[in-house]
A and B are shown apart, each in its own frame.
Chain A
Amino acid sequence: MKLSTKLLAATAMVAAPAVHAAELEVTHWWTSGGEAAAVSKLAEAWEAAGNTWIDGAIAGSGGTARPIIISRIIGGDPMAATQLNHGRQAEELIEAGLLTDLTEVAEANNWADLINPPSLLDACTFEGRVYCAPLNIHSAQWLWLSHDAFETAGVDVPADWNEFVAAAPALEEAGLLPLAMGQQGWQQNIAFGTITIGIAGVDNWLAVNRDKNIEVAEGPAYTAVFEAVEAARALAADSSVQDWNLATNLVITGQAGGQIMGDWAQGEFQVAEQVAGEDYSCLPGLGLNAVLDTGGDAFYFPVIDDEETRAAQLEMAAMLVSPEVQVDFNLAKGSLPVRGDVDLSAANDCMQKGLAILASGEGILPSGDMNLSADTQTQVEDLMAEFWSSDLSAADAQARYVDIIRSAD
């Protein structure tokens, strides 16, 4: 039996016509224009092989979709495939034997060699077995800058975070908002993480996030981080928007100098027909440390007690990592592919910067998802939400941060 499915997976790999038509229900939370376009690439590829894609989109990010996905998995009536952020989220589902083992597909398709950075596959691996198919890479450590705004203020477009902070008074004088910031914990947490990498450096970041080193979290490097965030808070004091894309819009329209946001922000610039380098700039790692994390999306396949479905699930897993799908999907989504052997010359300046960092193999960080549990992340986000929107002092915030890291698991 195992052999036959292996064979099936192998045939899928070489894109031979499928032996049978499968109907798979796929749950995800990609519902915006660009995202939906990207999903439809997946669906097209899947249906081109003679299968049927039943779309189970649920908007509202993981917060809305996750209880639905998990309820259905533990309710014994799961979807055939589902998006989940890879990382530690799925560990318990794997332990409970609720997710399909994809190791045979991974081995047949040589994922171990192809997937770059390898940390993505590591995140899918649990006790030596592979349980998810990585789909793309998103990185969060970007500073987006509006050329218009700096022109109005009469200063040069900054090349890194320190210049940006120095230019802020000029922006304020010109009646502009220096830093656009959506008033939501996860956005503020991204800014915090990005500033940490920029100010405290990668080693300190890893010490705290990966190794849970309390001394570093209490130490002067992190004190500087919290002070920098406190300063950034002052720069964003007048930013009253909630959604990240509305904050991005402030940068696009030149009302704000910059925004710290993940690479998905450039989709907004593209929609507004702005050109990277002319209308806006992007600085990975705040221009201080050219470092990117490698978060992203992955697909998991809940166990369904039906051999045909299982075969189809393996077929889909193989398809998701295949070069054609990787290119089509990531160009539509604006994210980076999970394998280094595909051609993305169509990508724009900012994407190329990201690709270059990936290709160099240096400055690649595992995403927070892979280091901190969702529980700890939520606590940090709550802390950041409070810190950014209140007058909590840097010292107090750091003390509470240390508490969270100390109890992190």
Chain B
Amino acid sequence: MSDHVSEQSAPAKRPVQLFRNMSAKIASIPMILTALVVFVGGTTWTVVHSFTSSRLLPKLDFVGLDQYERLWSTPRWLISIENLAIYGLCSMILTLTIGFTLAALLDRKIRFENTFRTIFLYPFALSFVVTGLAWQWILNPDFGLQQVVRDWGWESFAFDPLNNSKIVIFGILIAGIWQGSGLIMCIMLAGLRGIDEDIWKAARVDGIGTVKTYLRVIIPMMRPVFITSLVLIASGIIKLYDLVVAQTNGGPGISSEVPAKYVIEYMFRAQNLAQGFAASTMMLVSVVVILIPWAYLEFGGRKRG
């Protein structure tokens, strides 16, 4: 009965759907335009052109899946994918581990916390180009780390990741983690500071050791923080480009190529836009494939919590 009444009266009073929240909608116009025109529009444009034979200029002469067939039979693309997978996996694991460990160490009520935190965070202020250059210089076998260790008397010491095609991706990883782990440390530290002090006390009364408390109690509590961190790390991984260009430029040979570099070089150096678009479409597809389950978990999970 009461339901009936409200059904009758509500629509009469409620303004037209479109005009509800009018200011909010007007204020969101920049966001909506960006989302639709730039991101949806731009990617659609890219995807459409990936089915063409565009060269230097975008053209709409469709060639079906030719670009994709060529893409997946190109060794350089396959190497790029493999490199990104290795880099991505290691980078996620190491950045999270290092970021969390450092944050945990800083959270142990230590002295000089500010100093240490600044040291870990400052690389984030530097661009990837700068990062790549500095590490290229340090890892240079003739002037850098390898030579220094050899000068100390360890003549056979060999550490030249940038010149060894088997481990070059780890040379890039060293620099990537150097640049990015500070921010993650900062986020983790903020997350740790948000944990109720009483939880720590309860664990101490229960006789749980520090490490075990972190592993069994604190880390599970920080799930949202880890998710935020993962999104940030992942978005950086997929865009990996400047660092590689500055540090190795894909070398030695093509052993440190990455997908973003493939995209850009085929678009601009090889002047085969469609090939570049096909590669970037593949990257986009993998992003969507990874992100949609995440979004589902994140937003679905929140409703339950």
Contacts and interface: CB of A to CB of B under 8 A. Distances in A.
Interface of A: 62-63, 66-67, 70, 74, 89-93, 96, 183-185, 240, 242, 373-375, 377-379, 382-383, 385-390, 400, 407
Contacts of B75: 382-383, 386, 400
Contacts of A90: 56
Given A62-B269, A183-B252, A379-B74, 17 more contacts: A63-B265, A67-B268, A89-B271, A183-B163, A240-B142, A240-B163, A242-B249, A374-B269, A374-B271, A375-B266, A378-B269, A379-B270, A382-B75, A382-B254, A385-B253, A386-B254, A400-B75
A375 B275 contact: yes
A386 B56 contact: no
B76 A386 contact: yes
B56, B74, B255: which has the most chain A beta carbons within 10 Å? B56
Interface of B: 55-57, 70, 74-76, 141-142, 160, 163, 165, 248-255, 264-272, 275
Nearest to B58: A74
Contacts, number: 86
B57 A389 contact: no
Contact of B57 (A96, A374, A378): A96
Nearest to B54: A92
Given A63-B265, A92-B57, A390 B253 contact: yes
A90, A382, A390: which has the most chain B beta carbons within 10 Å? A382
Contacts of A385: 250-251, 253-254
B271 to A, nearest CB: 4
Contact of B269 (A66, A388, A389, A407): A66
Contacts of B270: 374-375, 377-379
A385 B251 CA distance: 8
Nearest to B275: A375
Given A373-B271, A378-B269, A379-B270, A389 B55 contact: no
A185 B254 CA distance: 8
Contacts of A62: 269
Nearest to A390: B253
A386 B253 contact: yes
A240 B163 CA distance: 6
Contacts of A184: 249, 251
Contacts of B268: 63, 66-67, 70
A89 B265 CA distance: 14
A74 B57 contact: yes
A375 B272 contact: yes
Nearest to A98: B57
A383 B76 CA distance: 8
A100 B119 CA distance: 54
A246 to B, nearest CB: 10
A274 B275 CA distance: 45
Nearest to B160: A240
A260 B253 CA distance: 17
Nearest to A186: B269
B56 A389 contact: no
Contacts of A67: 264, 267-268
Contacts of A70: 56, 268
B252 A375 contact: no
Contacts of A92: 55-57
Smallest CB-CB A-B distances: 6 pairs: A389-B253, A378-B270, A375-B272, A92-B56, A67-B268, A240-B163
Contacts of B275: 375
Contacts of B255: 389-390
A122 to B, nearest CB: 19
Contact of A389 (B142, B160, B165, B265): B165
B165 A390 contact: yes
Nearest to B247: A242
A248 B264 CA distance: 29
A62 B265 CA distance: 11
A240 B162 CA distance: 9
A184 B248 CA distance: 9
Contact of B253 (A93, A240, A388, A407): A388
A382 B56 contact: no
B251 A183 contact: yes
Nearest to B66: A407
Nearest to A243: B249
A90, A93, A389: which has the most chain B beta carbons within 10 Å? A389
Contacts of A379: 74, 270
7 contacts: A67-B267, A374-B271, A375-B55, A378-B270, A385-B254, A400-B75, A407-B70
A382 B74 CA distance: 10
B14 to A, nearest CB: 47
